[in-house]
Structure 1
């Protein structure tokens, strides 16, 4: 059972890395990634014998994150894929991982924005010489692939999640 639990724990990190890279290169996060994250949580919770109350709190945290993400999407602060990824990740992190996740995501997002501002100001001349996705990133008023920040925040906060803590016996 330990090998299965370990494999299931690796599911979320792999998918958020794929989501972050997909957002970086296409400015889109496919629905199937968020869907797989949601579907993958329940077998992981079952394999690690998470109490039903912890699963319920995690579902509640994900719903709240989805509502907040939808509001941010309505205000055009982030994309729809970002809002769905945020909620799917929150399902895995639950309440114990929520604050570290939000803090790490905000810090990563700020750093990403700063890097893009500097790159757009100083590397614009190189924009046409690379892949299309690099040119898109360097557009002066281009979008920010916030899925990258969400992925970084998720990876850094994951040790605080109920799933990892259950696996570690904490």
Structure 2
């Protein structure tokens, strides 16, 4: 049974990392990442042995995170892809792991912000000038913050505490 459980469970961290990297390099998180995570959640939940109540609670947490993400998007604080990635990560992690996820995401977001501000300070301009285009875009003053990176880091940090991971790993 673990031959099926582990690959399904690994879909979450792999796709979260891909989402974070896509956001870092292009300021976009493709919809296929969120849609694939939603589609993979149900078989992963079933093979992990999660009770129906737990699956329902995960769905409620994911929906709540989607509403919050939509509000943050409407306020201009995050991009639409960031809001969707936040919601699908909350879906996979469930309750109570969503709380450390939010904490880890906030801490990673603070570190990301400080890193980007340092990059944009001008000190690294000679180094960045010869770098890839995505790095030059990150270093531009007034540019956006690829918050999908922080969401992916928060998701990876909270993953072992998540509802589905505890069912298989714990």
The equivalent of 2:153 in structure 1 is 152
How much does 1:127 deviate?
3.4
Is 121-130 or 69-78 further displaced after alignment?
121-130
CA distance in 1, matches of 2:142, 2:136: 12
The equivalent of 1:28 in structure 2 is 28
The equivalent of 2:101 in structure 1 is 101
Deviations 1:100-143 (A, max 9, x none): 10000000000000011011102134333111101100001111
How much does 1:25 deviate?
0.4
The equivalent of 2:72 in structure 1 is 72
3-state secondary structure, aligned to 1:95: coil
Q: How many residues align?
A: 169
- Contact map agreement 1:124 1:139 (CA 8 A) in 2: no
For structure 2, the 5+ residue unaligned runs are: none
4+ long deviations beyond 2 Å? 124-128
3-state secondary structure, aligned to 1:10: helix
The equivalent of 1:46 in structure 2 is 46
Deviations 1:11-37 (A, max 9, x none): 100000100111000000000000001
**C-alpha RMSD of the superposition:** 0.9
More helix by share: 1
The equivalent of 1:165 in structure 2 is 166
How much does 1:88 deviate?
0.6
Deviations 1:72-118 (A, max 9, x none): 00000000000000001111000121111000000000000001101
CA distance in 2, matches of 1:140, 1:162: 40
For structure 1, the 5+ residue unaligned runs are: none
Deviations 1:52-80 (A, max 9, x none): 10000000000000000000000000000
Name the TM-score, length of structure 2 as normaliser.
Answer: 0.97
Name the TM-score, length of structure 1 as normaliser.
Answer: 0.97
* Alignment pair present for 1:139 and 2:120: no
